[in-house]
Amino acid sequence: MRAPLLLLLLLLAACAPPPCAAAAPTPPGWEPSADAPWCPYKVLPEGPEAGGGRLCFRSPARGFRCQAPACAAHASAGRSLRASVLRNRSVLLQWRLAPAEARRVRAFALNCSWRGAYTRFPCERVLLGASCRDYLLPDVHDGVRYRLCLQSLPLRAEPAVAPEPTVVPEPAASAECVEFAAEPAGMREIVVAMTAVGGSICVMLVVICLLVAYITENLMHPAFGRPGLRRQP
């Protein structure tokens, strides 16, 4: 009797689904201020020229939560830049700044590149306003290694009215970079199918173990002679 019950407990422990990761709320500093309802940005054309591009506006993604398995989060080395890769092959890029640093920023420069077999190729260059704290890449390719780098551009030094010692402008901050690769859609379907099949097999094994335990306890156990129940001649 102990062997079937022990086997049943082991199967239940093996088939138990992993605990779902709760969606963590957006930490403070990752969202723009309440008085910044729009994010102005400009997608720059490819090539060495920095001008051009059409000015656009987008509303910030307030209250966004990255929850598996529909979203995979990747962070930069400095933890101030993160990329949330969604199942629909879009990527939400978010960044945060300290209040003192945010007052000295006039814009953000976003550079996107992807890794080829022998070199890296540029994919997008975006200039974002100082009030922006996120940007959405609408479409990324499966299985390609992307690298997104964000650099804050400081305010320009104002010219001095009277002759004063030369003021050295503050250098631009180093860029924060994050790398990620979108999981292929076919691989996600295979994982879901294997999970469903594995769950069905676990249910069948649990039912079989219950039947074995019932048969062992109620049918096979009385077959062994009980001295106290034998009929006297």
Q: How confident is the model at residue 18 (pLDDT cuts 50, 70, 90)?
A: very low
Check whether 143 has a pLDDT greater than 70.
yes
Q: How far is the C-alpha of 45 from the C-alpha of 125, rounded, in Å?
A: 7
Q: How far is the C-alpha of 21 from the C-alpha of 17, rounded, in Å?
A: 12
Q: Mean pLDDT throughout 17-36?
A: 55
Q: Mean pLDDT throughout 178-186?
A: 78
Q: Residue 142: CB partners within 8 Å, gap ≥ 6?
A: 89, 182, 183, 184, 185
User: What pLDDT is attached to residue 208?
Assistant: 84
Distances (CA, A) of 13 to 18, 149, 205, 213: 10, 44, 12, 17
Q: Mean pLDDT throughout 95-114?
A: 89
106-128 per-position pLDDT tens digit: 999 999 998 877 777 888 899 99
Measured in degrees and rounded to the nearest 5, phi and psi for residue 100 equal -65, -40
Q: Mean pLDDT throughout 13-37?
A: 55
Check whether 25 has a pLDDT greater than 80.
no
User: What pLDDT is attached to residue 76?
Assistant: 92
Please name the helix (run of DSSP H) or strand (run of DSSP E) that holds residue 219, with its range, or none.
none
Say which residue, 110 or 175, is predicted with more confidence.
Answer: 110
Check whether 4 has a pLDDT greater than 80.
no
- pTM (predicted TM-score): 0.61
Least confident of 89-103, 179-193, 208-222: 179-193
User: What pLDDT is attached to residue 20?
Assistant: 40
Q: How far is the C-alpha of 92 from the C-alpha of 67, rounded, in Å?
A: 13
